[in-house]
Amino acid sequence: MKPSFWARRAHKWIGLFVGVQALLWMISGVYMTVVPIDVIHGDHLAHAAGDALQAATPRMDQAAVMRRYPGITSFKLKRLLDRDVYEIRQGAQVALVDAANGARISPLERDAAVALARKAYQGEAEIVGVEWVTKAPQEVAKRAVPMWAVRFADSGDTTLYFSPDSGDLLARRHSLWRWFDFLWMFHIMDYDTRSDVNNTLLRVAAAVGLLFALSGAWLVFYSFRWRRSA
């Protein structure tokens, strides 16, 4: 049989194999280029910037804090919910203590998580749910648990995640981010963690896509050659 016959057959069957994935690559790529990354990150939904420290506020001496909590490897002074606190680290453990008297205030209670969420949230929707998370859902799978999840009744189903140990805003999640994450899964072909951009399935699909392009080039070559011969 002529080489052009095999070129057509190879191009057809490889196209059938890789066509669906190529379409998913295009759809996910369009979404990623159309929706600004700042919107995906949810920067417009919640601000994580802390308040300025109060100069006149009485504070416990740092040496006294270190004596009270042995094994501190680092600490930092910050403003949290209208009071100064020390964020201390003892190895991998993080805790908050009142800067005025040294009393430990973490893990933060539900009311503190609600107050943090209301302070950070930039919308006008009401809170519709507060959850103590001990098993991280897919959308925050890389964050350490436990954490507080505070959900708002806006059009994007915004959820803010806070650390009970440091009071930090860990993640902003909303509908546009969730669509991005869903399409990203197809884009990199990692259907488990959605983070491995160097997985075997993606390599195979990329290699097959290259074969598809090469078979098409082969077909074009023989098509022009046939025309010249005619």
pLDDT-derived band at 206, boundaries 50, 70, 90: confident
pLDDT value at residue 107: 95
- pLDDT category of residue 132 using cuts at 50, 70 and 90: very high
Q: What tokens were used for 171? A: 């993640």
Which residue blocks in 162-199 are alpha helix, DSSP H? 175-188
Q: Within the chain, what is the greatest distance between any pair of CA atoms?
A: 94
Q: Which two tokens stand for residue 126?
A: 């009401």
> Which of the pair, 227 or 109, is modelled with greater confidence?
109
Spatial separation of the C-alpha atoms in residues 176 and 104, rounded to whole Å: 38
**Residue type at 147 in one-letter notation:** M
Task: Specify the amino acid at residue 188.
Answer: I
Which structure tokens are listed for 65? 């804090």
Let me know: does 178 contact 141? Beta carbons within 8 Å.
no
CA 34, 37, 39, 44: dihedral to nearest 10 degrees? -150
Please compute the mean of the pLDDT values over residues 184-193 and round it to a whole number.
89
Looking at the DSSP bridge assignments, the partners of residue 59 are none
Q: What is the pTM of this model?
A: 0.83
Comparing CA positions, the residue from 92, 210, 106, 116 lying closest to residue 169 is: 116
Residue 102 near residue 68, CB atoms below 8 Å? yes
Model pLDDT, residue 4? 60
User: Could you give the CA distance from residue 26 to residue 94 in angstroms, rounded to a whole number?
Assistant: 43
* Residue 95 · residue 66 · CB < 8 Å: no
CB atoms within 10 A of CB 53: 12
pLDDT digits (tens, 9 = 90+) for 1-56: 566 666 667 667 777 777 788 888 899 999 999 999 999 999 889 987 677 777 77
pLDDT tens digits for 55-84?
777 888 888 999 999 999 988 999 998 889
- Give the per-residue pLDDT at 51: 75
pLDDT of the residue at 225:
57
What is residue 140's predicted lDDT score, i.e. its pLDDT?
A: 95
**Integer CA distances (angstroms), 110 to 23, 48, 147, 166, 178, in order:** 45, 18, 10, 14, 25
Classify residue 158 by burial, with Cβ atoms within 10 Å: 0-12, 13-18, 19+: buried
Q: Which of 101, 190, 107, 114 is nearest to 144 (CA)?
A: 107
Q: Are β-strands 159-162 and 169-173 bridged in parallel, bridged antiparallel, or unpaired?
A: antiparallel
Helix-strand-coil split of the chain, %, nearest 5: 45, 20, 35
Higher local confidence (pLDDT), 212 or 81 = 81
Give pLDDT, residue 223.
66
Domain coordinates in residue numbering, the chain = 3-38+180-229, 43-173
